[in-house]
Amino acid sequence: MINWLDGPPPEKNLPHLPLVRVPGKTPLAGAITCSKIVQVYTHFLNRRTQPCMTEDCPGCAGNLAKRYEAYCSIWTTTPGRHIIVALTPEASIQIKHQCQNWEAMRGVYLKLERPSKRPNGRVTAEIDHNIATLHLIPPAPDLEAHLLKIWGLDQSHLGQDQPQYVRLVTEKFTPRLETTDAHTRPE
């Protein structure tokens, strides 16, 4: 007798959702697929955005500025694709003022744009509760797991104590000191 399957095998790796910043020329719009917006302070460390740690943070130890970042996942309208979008502090505040429940945003239609049309201009956010899209959007992703993958943080620290995780992050993200003195550089 053949053992027929009901579906594909379970995924071994986290499917990749790309991280997108709001473009300058065109708005970014779609339905929010996550159940809540993920917020974190970050540092710009080793030419990358990295999360601020609660203890023994390499960014804080290096006196790097903290930046607020927020992330949500959306199913874009044109073309239809599942992405993670980075929200600026101003856009996050606008969303919070327009929404009754910050942690129950799934299915809400979100439009983000840069009025100045410049790639680094301010981002405005508009939400619309009247669009019923829950049945049309993919399941909610684990945003924190996706962000860990994007930041290059291995998830093997889960279940371990905090000092081991801090050591892992410190080793990975502590800036490598470069000296300009040719005599002190290792050959």
Q: What is the pLDDT of residue 182?
A: 42
pLDDT of 163 above 80: no
The structure tokens listed for 163 are: 């000092």
pLDDT of 185 above 50: no
- For residue 47, the SS3 value is coil
Q: Which stretch of 16-20, 96-100, 150-154, 166-170 has the lowest confidence by average pLDDT? A: 166-170
Q: Which residue has the tokens 């473009």?
A: 23
pLDDT digits (tens, 9 = 90+) for 86-129: 999 999 999 988 887 767 788 889 999 999 999 889 999 999 87
Q: Which residue has the tokens 């840069």?
A: 114
The structure tokens listed for 17 are: 């959702």
Spatial distance between the Cα atoms of 97 and 104, rounded to a whole number of angstroms: 14
pLDDT of 6 above 80: yes
Q: How many helices (H) and strands (E) does the chain have?
A: 4, 8
Q: What is the pLDDT of residue 105?
A: 84
Question: How does DSSP assign 51-106, residue by residue?
Answer: EPPSSS-HHHHTTPPPEEEEEEEEEESSS--EEEEEE-HHHHHHHHHH-S-TT--T
Q: What is the pLDDT of residue 129?
A: 72
Spatial distance between the Cα atoms of 108 and 32, rounded to a whole number of angstroms: 6
Higher pLDDT, 47 or 19: 19
Higher pLDDT, 3 or 12: 3
Confidence of residue 132 (pLDDT cuts 50, 70, 90): low
pLDDT of 30 above 80: yes
pLDDT digits (tens, 9 = 90+) for 133-159: 667 788 888 888 888 888 877 554 454
Q: Is the peptide bond before 79 cis (omega within 30 degrees of 0)?
A: yes
Helix (H) or strand (E) holding 44: strand 38-45
Q: What is the pLDDT of residue 106?
A: 86
Spatial distance between the Cα atoms of 159 and 42, rounded to a whole number of angstroms: 23
- For residue 32, the SS3 value is strand
pLDDT digits (tens, 9 = 90+) for 36-95: 889 999 999 888 888 998 888 888 988 999 999 999 999 987 778 899 999 999 999 999
Q: What is the pLDDT of residue 115?
A: 94
Q: Which residue has the tokens 């970014």?
A: 28
Q: Which stretch of 24-28, 120-124, 176-180 has the lowest confidence by average pLDDT? A: 176-180
